[in-house]
Structure 1
Amino acid sequence: MTDVRDTPLAHGIGGSADLPISPSLAIAGAVAALVVSFTVLALAWRTPRYDGATSGRPAWPFLDRLVRSTAWYVALRVFGFVVFAYAVMVAVLGEDLLTNPIFGIVFVWWWVGLVPLSFFLGPVWKHISPVRTINLAFAKISGSDPEVGVFEYPRWLGHWPAALGLFAFTWMELVYPFMTELGPVRLWCAIYVAVMLLGGALFGNAFYENADPFEVYSTLVGKMSVWGMRDGHLIVRSPLANLDTVVVRPGLVGVVAVLFGSTAFDSFADSSVWVRYIQSTDTSSYLLNNLAIVAFCVGVGAIFALGTMLTGVEPGTRRRTLPNLFAHSVVPIVVGYIVAHYLTYLVEFGQKTLIQASDPFGNGSDILGTGDWSVNYWLSYHPTLLANVKVLAVVIGHVLGVIAAHDRAIKLLPRRHQLTGQLSLLFAMVAFTVGGLYLLFAA
């Protein structure tokens, strides 16, 4: 049986109790900031300013040499594999209790922690991914090239497998009723590793770039960092210029829709409105939650696709290509909302996981020397500061999204539609802002 005490999976942490400010004032201010930003951009931003191919400056020489060195590459691979091996050990040999650190490793460190790591350091999962390391080892043993598989990865497939993988993970985390038991978590991770290794063998490293849900996730968030690469050398540039380098592939809208939609559903599932409805109906809560998470993900994708496809274009332009071309502008929104929703969850349960990891089998061991540490709840004890951080994260994310979308619109849309043609996309952004803040306060 699973011990439900001290669960690291209670995403209600960091809800409305943390926000001692007026929801209506916060929402009104956020919408005003969005509209004012668009107005300023319309008047002062008439030519494209972000070009991933030419922007940025070389990083410090010593740092460039470090990240290109074999020692750095090997160190990252070893670090990722050591953590992976430890996770496998506690998943296989550990007890089926929520004190088992595998729950925190998967749901806190891996899922939520990947965001700040990628935001500050760039696409880290690509460099520490254990499945890439195992695939590389197999290639070395067999004398093959890990970049080349048996088949060429289908271009039309794009990021759709990654979107499906992200949905599968969020479904297990947020909807599946037995996700607090060790068996389902073990099974999901085993399937993930098996699919990734098979895909790498068949399609080479192109499979990971396109289809690994965590690599695609990390790479997108990493575009919000200041680090980039050009001609094999490290460069420093504006995060928005970095964001302009997002590779447009089929399924990109699906990825951002799942990331944003599932996080919004997580807030919605904790809202008093949804809880009361679940308790008052005879319909299965499991069925209702399944329908709701699909509705949120599809709804986000549909609103964004409609907002982009209604922009003014030249006759003959295929409107169905526009959503993927503008999808990069949702990445700042996703990052801002994840910060707002999971900040206390990451800080507090991240510490708890580190403490539990020192005694993975509950026998009093202190492997990491952190077993006698205690969780610092300083952030929760300062609700006003936390409220401001959360609201600012959402607002800044949306404003950056508007800037990224405007710069792309200047490049893509005909001159006569460069401003009025963006109104439908602005309405979509406003809908995301209002909905995101409402759900943040409702949780």
Structure 2
Amino acid sequence: MLLPTGYYLAGGALAVAVSFLVLALLPAAVLDRFWRGRLTLLAFGDAPRTLVSLISFAGFILLIAAGFLGSRDPLSNPLPLVIWTLLWAGFTLLQGLLGDLWSWLNPWYGPWRVASRVFGLSADDANRSRLPNWLDYWPAFVLFFAFAWFELIDPAPDDPAHLAFAAGLYWLASFIAMLVFGYDAWSKRGEFLSVFFAMVARFAPFERVDGRLGLCWPGAKLLAVDPLPLSGTAFLLLALSSVSFDGLSKTFFWLGLFGVNPLEFPGRTALIGIGSFGLALTFVLLAAVFALAVFLGQRLAGDDRSFGANAGLLVWSIVPIALAYHVAHYLTVLLVDGQYALVALSDPFALGWNLFGTANMMVEAGVVAGAESAWWLWNLQAGVIIAGHVLAVLVAHGLAWRLCRQPSRAALSQLPLALLMIAYTIFGLWLLATPTAG
């Protein structure tokens, strides 16, 4: 790219550093009043939730059918476009902006409520078995890693029939787990999409308290969370490392490390080993650096509390960064493949239908092509990444006050984490600017 990326790297790092210094100097009372700001909007109940979920389930069944019976072209079949573009790329953004929509739209809640009535199961889970406590979030972690591997490493994650089989099997396995362990237990600690979306929704400026919808500052809900166990900390770090590796794995730099010519890309099958190694390595490195930052922060502040509890609380500051990386990384995909999704949804079985009047819509790929598009896309992506890191510093500072009430100790405890966020800002902007194979 012919953009002055060096200035952006320096500017992004400076913005994060300055935000840390400003927060370190601000009186605690000022920040406390800022985070406590709330505005109540309206009241609503949960009555339609089952119906909404059943409609979502019906749509899911139609998508699975389209995967098996529709077009073999991933850009003409609605299943891969809905899962990879509208759900994974687009819905994550909605969760971060509007709050926990997934608890209503997921395709398990409605069928589970129906099954609980048919089989006489307790709808409120009062007399149901739970996941063993020692498992914590490890089921969700393992399933999320498998999902990331399927998306990034599997030779054909976009193949409609292949994806239909995987998605259908995952729905069925999760539904059985909900019947065995209870809906609440599995959706909160086992079903990785529900766990991920719930964590992302804590950043949203919309919140629901006692049946009333209100507004708060973005990230304010993160300051009231409980510390995560080791498995929950690992889950959040995996959410960030997987999308980071997605960007890294396509760079000339990464491919060059293994002697792969990016101009003669050998295909995903030839890179399964390299990709699997890189996905695991990226997580291990991020986890190690984060753990080191928390440990050094404790030593600087003279904090003798449990390392695990501190890490489990401070890891929530990763949420704004993970959301920012997700948006920046998938923005171009959402803008282009989102249009293909609208076309495919009107004719899901390639039978010449036009259900929503979009089957003949022209896809404007030029929205991400050309010098002008490159300029505004780069600035938007860079701005999102920098803003995410600045908000992460703000959240981390608020969480540090829960651990160290003395201002100087709280600031010292955050210094290593702030340096990590500065380094990750530079890394994220470099990923956007460096040449890639696709």
TM-score (norm 1): 0.87
The aligned counterpart of 1:219 is 198
* Correspondence 1:325-344 to 2 at 5 A: 325-344=313-332
* Matched residue type, 1:81: F
Q: Verify the 8 A CA contact 2:228 2:309 in the aligned structure 1.
A: no
1:197-231 deviations in Å (ceiling 9; x for gaps): 12211221221022211111211221222211222
CA distance in 1, matches of 2:324, 2:148: 18
The aligned counterpart of 1:24 is 6
Structure 2 residue aligned with 1:90, among 51, 57, 66? 66
* Matched residue type, 2:114: A
1:292 and 2:271 aligned: no
The aligned counterpart of 1:140 is 117
* Correspondence 1:310-325 to 2 at 5 A: 310-312=296-298, 316-325=304-313
1:237 and 2:216 aligned: yes
Local SS of the residue matching 1:97:
coil
Q: Verify the 8 A CA contact 1:278 1:285 in the aligned structure 2.
A: no
Local SS of the residue matching 1:229:
strand
Shift of residue 69, structure 1, vs aligned partner: 5.5
Shift of residue 269, structure 1, vs aligned partner: 1.3
CA distance in 1, matches of 2:34, 2:283: 29
- Structure 2 gap ranges (5+): none
The aligned counterpart of 2:90 is 113
Local SS of the residue matching 2:156:
coil
1:399 and 2:379 aligned: no
CA distance in 2, matches of 1:428, 1:321: 19
Shift of residue 104, structure 1, vs aligned partner: 0.7
CA distance in 2, matches of 1:37, 1:90: 49
The aligned counterpart of 1:100 is 77
Shift of the 108–247 alpha-carbon distance from structure 1 to 2, 3 Å rule, reads farther
Shift of residue 334, structure 1, vs aligned partner: 0.9
* Matched residue type, 1:383: A
Q: Verify the 8 A CA contact 2:95 2:201 in the aligned structure 1.
A: yes
Q: Verify the 8 A CA contact 1:379 1:386 in the aligned structure 2.
A: no
1:388 and 2:379 aligned: yes
1:319-378 deviations in Å (ceiling 9; x for gaps): 122111111111110111111111111121011012012222223222332111112346
Local SS of the residue matching 1:177:
coil
CA distance in 2, matches of 1:119, 1:364: 36
Local SS of the residue matching 2:214:
strand
Shift of the 50–85 alpha-carbon distance from structure 1 to 2, 3 Å rule, reads farther
Query: Which deviates more from structure 2 when the two are superposed, residues 312-321 or residues 237-246?
Result: 312-321
The two structures, once aligned, show a CA RMSD in angstroms of 2.5
1:198 and 2:189 aligned: no
Shift of the 305–188 alpha-carbon distance from structure 1 to 2, 3 Å rule, reads farther
CA distance in 2, matches of 1:254, 1:262: 12
Structure 2 residue aligned with 1:267, among 247, 261, 271? 247
* Matched residue type, 2:376: L
1:51-109 deviations in Å (ceiling 9; x for gaps): 9996523223xxx23xx1624x3453244223212212212322433232211111111
Aligned residues: 419
TM-score (norm 2): 0.88
Shift of residue 280, structure 1, vs aligned partner: 4.2
Shift of residue 178, structure 1, vs aligned partner: 2.7
Local SS of the residue matching 2:213:
strand
CA distance in 2, matches of 1:340, 1:219: 20
Shift of residue 246, structure 1, vs aligned partner: 3.7
* Matched residue type, 2:139: P
Local SS of the residue matching 1:156:
helix
The aligned counterpart of 1:4 is none
The aligned counterpart of 1:10 is none
* Matched residue type, 2:247: S
The aligned counterpart of 2:411 is 419
Shift of the 223–371 alpha-carbon distance from structure 1 to 2, 3 Å rule, reads same
Structure 1 residue aligned with 2:17, among 10, 23, 35? 35
Shift of residue 272, structure 1, vs aligned partner: 1.2
1:268-290 deviations in Å (ceiling 9; x for gaps): 11111223344549996221111
* Matched residue type, 1:424: P
CA distance in 2, matches of 1:284, 1:384: 34
The aligned counterpart of 1:58 is 40
Calculate percent identity across the aligned residue pairs.
26
